């Protein structure tokens, strides 16, 4: 089959890890008889340097007309160190989410047996940990009315949700639970927030229509604690934009390195796949970055294209490499290889 993939490498280590992701996609394409037609675009700091905008219209056009989008990372210290800068790389990512209507962010957490020592959690508490966070991405308090009043000493942010926004992500979360452990937990603050009460009402209703799924509810403060003391209890976590932002970052720590965790952002027009880490300026340009998060994002992209066997092949390649005790320098205790060497190895294993 033939697919059009837009590729936005971005800044810092973005282009380095994306190169490895493409190597693996190419190996999969050859092995399973698919053609991936890549369309490259600029986003973030590099786009500002080249065009003055962190998200040029040309990039949006490339993305809208593709089957899926592979994204590296954005961010540059020259903007991080200048809080007054009006045009910023992060606007590229937020703009993409809005422009492509990327409403559902998915972050799976896998614990690799021989990397348990890297986690801040006791190894015995990591047994059986395998969950995924479904975070609503373009609504809630991050996008509601906000502002300052009077003398500037009063500020407000508004949290708003509509039933349609809840239903469309809930549908994806129920479908995911059906393919996993058949458990879905809504994380909210329904004892305090009206929007959370609307989420609960809707999920209670949808639970009746999805009676094969065990549905439960947890307040976000408790969930933040449970993720540390008993993370194995979770299967699919469904939550709002801000709670998901915080919980998914907390969950990522369990795995032991930022360089391991992929993500997907599902949209109504197209969908985007990206490692969760940033542009890591401290190691950029040194061939040190861990490309596994990006390669695992490629696996999620392949799943999204309904190439499940191909996606499984990529995940198996990652597991095999780590089981052999090979990884990048952030995976302390493994035999250290460069970013490009890990990419070569993964592509070789994926090629069969
Ligand atoms: P970061 O994720 O870039 O780096 C945090 C730490 O983790 C650094 O020490 C880095 O070297 C390490 N790290 C990250 N990815 C790694 C990898 N693949 N392999 C090995 N080590 C890795 O976060 P930060 O330092 O807070 O931010 C740097 C820049 O990235 C900022 O400009 C920030 O705004 C941006 N950022 C972008 C995204 C994104 O593009 N989605 C996400 C977070 C941060």
Lowest mean pLDDT of 11-15, 84-88, 332-336, name the range: 84-88
Write out pLDDT tens, residues 251-310. 989 999 999 999 999 999 899 999 999 999 999 999 999 999 999 999 999 999 999 999
Select from 75, 93, 256 the residue to mutate for testing ligand 1; criterion: most ligand atoms less than 8 Å from CB: 75
Location of structure tokens 């493409």: 22
> How distant is the alpha carbon of residue 289 from its chain centre?
17
Supply the pLDDT for residue 149. Answer: 87
Q: What is the CATH number of the domain that holds 213?
A: 3.40.718.10
| Residues 186, 276 within the same domain | no
Q: What is the mean pLDDT of residues 119-146?
A: 95
| Domain contains 260 | no
The burial of 128, by beta-carbon neighbours within 10 Å (0-12 exposed, 13-18 middle, 19 or more buried), is given as exposed
Supply the pLDDT for residue 152. Answer: 84
| Residues 99, 184 within the same domain | no
| Residues 235, 344 within the same domain | no
**CB neighbours of 129 closer than 8 A, spacing ≥ 6?**
109, 111, 231, 232, 254
| Residues 171, 238 within the same domain | yes
For residue 329, the ligand 1 atom closest to its alpha carbon is 20
Supply the pLDDT for residue 85. Answer: 85
| Residues 160, 204 within the same domain | yes
Closest CA to 8 of 30, 50, 27: 50
* Final residue of a structural domain among 255, 283, 313: 255
Mean pLDDT (the chain, rounded): 96
User: Rounded to the nearest 5 degrees, what angle is found at the Cα of 278, between the Cα atoms of 327 and 11?
Assistant: 100
| Domain contains 262 | no
Distance 89 CA to ligand 1 centre (A): 13
The residues with which 73 forms a beta bridge, in sequence order, are 10
| Domain contains 290 | yes
Closest CA to 13 of 265, 255, 275: 275
The share of the chain scoring above pLDDT 70, in percent, equals 100
Supply the pLDDT for residue 151. Answer: 84
Supply the pLDDT for residue 55. Answer: 98
| Residues 198, 302 within the same domain | no
Instruction: Name the pTM for this structure.
Output: 0.95
| Residues 149, 250 within the same domain | yes
* Final residue of a structural domain among 255, 285, 315: 255
Q: From atom 38 of ligand 1, which residue's Cα is the shortest distance away?
A: 278
d(CA 89, CA 66): 23
Q: From atom 5 of ligand 1, which residue's Cα is the shortest distance away?
A: 280
The residues with which 331 forms a beta bridge, in sequence order, are none
| Residues 304, 194 within the same domain | no
The share of the chain scoring above pLDDT 90, in percent, equals 94
Write out pLDDT tens, residues 177-212. 999 999 999 999 999 999 999 999 999 999 999 999
Supply the pLDDT for residue 45. Answer: 97
d(CA 194, CA 161): 10
Structural domains counted in the chain: 2
Distance 12 CA to ligand 1 centre (A): 9
| Residues 192, 240 within the same domain | yes
**CB neighbours of 340 closer than 8 A, spacing ≥ 6?**
16, 19, 20, 287
**CB neighbours of 265 closer than 8 A, spacing ≥ 6?**
97, 102, 104, 105, 106, 137, 271, 272, 273, 274
Q: What is the mean pLDDT of residues 237-254?
A: 94
| Domain contains 44 | yes
Give the domain extent around 229: 120-255
pLDDT for 319 beyond 90: yes
Select from 70, 277, 292, 296 the residue to mutate for testing ligand 1; criterion: most ligand atoms less than 8 Å from CB: 277
Supply the pLDDT for residue 330. Answer: 96
Supply the pLDDT for residue 282. Answer: 97
Q: What is the mean pLDDT of residues 53-82?
A: 95
Q: What is the mean pLDDT of residues 235-263?
A: 95
Between 24 and 252, the more confident residue is 24
**CB neighbours of 16 closer than 8 A, spacing ≥ 6?**
284, 285, 287, 289, 291, 339, 340
């Amino acid at each position: 089959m033939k697919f059009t993939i837009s590729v936005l490498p971005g800044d810092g280590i973005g282009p380095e890890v994306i190169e490895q992701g493409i190597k693996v996609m190419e190996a999969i394409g050859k092995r399973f008889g698919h053609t991936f037609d890549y369309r490259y675009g600029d986003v973030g700091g590099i786009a500002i340097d080249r065009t003055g905008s962190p998200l040029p219209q040309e990039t949006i056009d490339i993305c809208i007309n593709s089957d899926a989008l592979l994204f590296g990372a954005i961010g540059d210290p020259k903007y991080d160190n200048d809080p007054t800068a009006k045009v910023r790389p992060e606007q590229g990512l937020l703009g993409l989410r809005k422009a492509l209507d990327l409403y559902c962010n998915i972050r799976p957490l896998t614990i690799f047996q021989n990397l348990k020592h890297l986690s801040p959690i006791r190894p015995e508490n990591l047994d059986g940990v395998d969950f995924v966070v479904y975070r609503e991405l373009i609504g809630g308090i991050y996008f509601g009315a906000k502002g300052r009043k009077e003398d500037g000493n009063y500020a407000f942010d508004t949290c708003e949700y509509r039933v349609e926004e809840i239903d469309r992500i809930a549908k994806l979360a129920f479908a995911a639970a059906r393919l996993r452990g058949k458990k879905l937990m809504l994380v909210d603050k329904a004892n305090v927030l009206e929007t959370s009460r609307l989420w609960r009402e809707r999920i209670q209703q949808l639970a009746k229509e999805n009676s094969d799924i065990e549905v439960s509810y947890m307040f976000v403060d408790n969930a933040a604690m449970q993720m540390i003391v008993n993370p194995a209890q979770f299967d699919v976590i469904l939550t709002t934009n801000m709670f998901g932002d915080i919980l998914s970052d907390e969950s990522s720590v369990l795995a032991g390195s930022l360089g391991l965790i992929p993500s997907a952002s599902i949209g109504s027009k197209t969908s985007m796949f990206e490692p969760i880490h940033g542009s890591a300026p401290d190691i950029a340009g040194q061939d040190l970055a861990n490309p596994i998060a990006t390669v695992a994002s490629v696996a999620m992209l392949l799943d999204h294209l309904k190439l499940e066997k191909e996606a499984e092949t990529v995940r198996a390649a990652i597991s095999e490499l780590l089981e052999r005790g090979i990884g990048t320098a952030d995976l302390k205790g493994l035999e250290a290889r460069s970013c490009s060497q890990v990419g070569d190895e993964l592509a070789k294993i994926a090629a069969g």
